[in-house]
């Protein structure tokens, strides 16, 4: 559950604010169309937050394995050599 919250907080934060706004609107018993509320701005702010997070994560990703990927090989007789990351030679 915590991983879900960490990954999707940019969308959950504005949507939770929208739910709070709807709750307050219904308590006041105001007769308004739901489309006249902040739904557009909620969706727009969610999209902008997600885009900002993706840009941040794309620039700050680190790889733990430095080297070249070697795929598994299939040898005669049904023997399989496992793949992996070959260390980079300096």
CB 34 within 8 A of CB 42: no
Q: For 34-49, how does the pLDDT look when each residue is reduced to its tens digit (9 = 90+)?
A: 555 677 677 778 888 8
Residue 27's pLDDT band, with cuts at 50, 70 and 90, is low
Rounded to whole angstroms, the Cα distance separating 59 from 32 reads 43
Is residue 73 very low, low, confident or very high in pLDDT (cuts 50, 70, 90)?
very high
Average pLDDT (55-78) is 80
Averaged pLDDT score across all residues of the chain: 77
């Amino acid at each position: 559950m915590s991983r879900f919250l960490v990954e999707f907080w940019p969308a959950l934060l504005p949507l939770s604010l929208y739910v709070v706004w709807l709750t307050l609107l219904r308590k006041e018993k105001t007769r308004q169309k739901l489309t006249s509320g902040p739904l557009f701005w909620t969706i727009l702010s969610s999209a902008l937050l997600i885009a900002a997070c993706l840009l941040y994560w794309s620039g700050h990703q680190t790889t733990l394995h430095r080297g070249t990927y070697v795929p598994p090989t299939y040898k005669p007789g049904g023997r399989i050599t496992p793949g992996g990351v070959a260390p980079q030679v300096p």
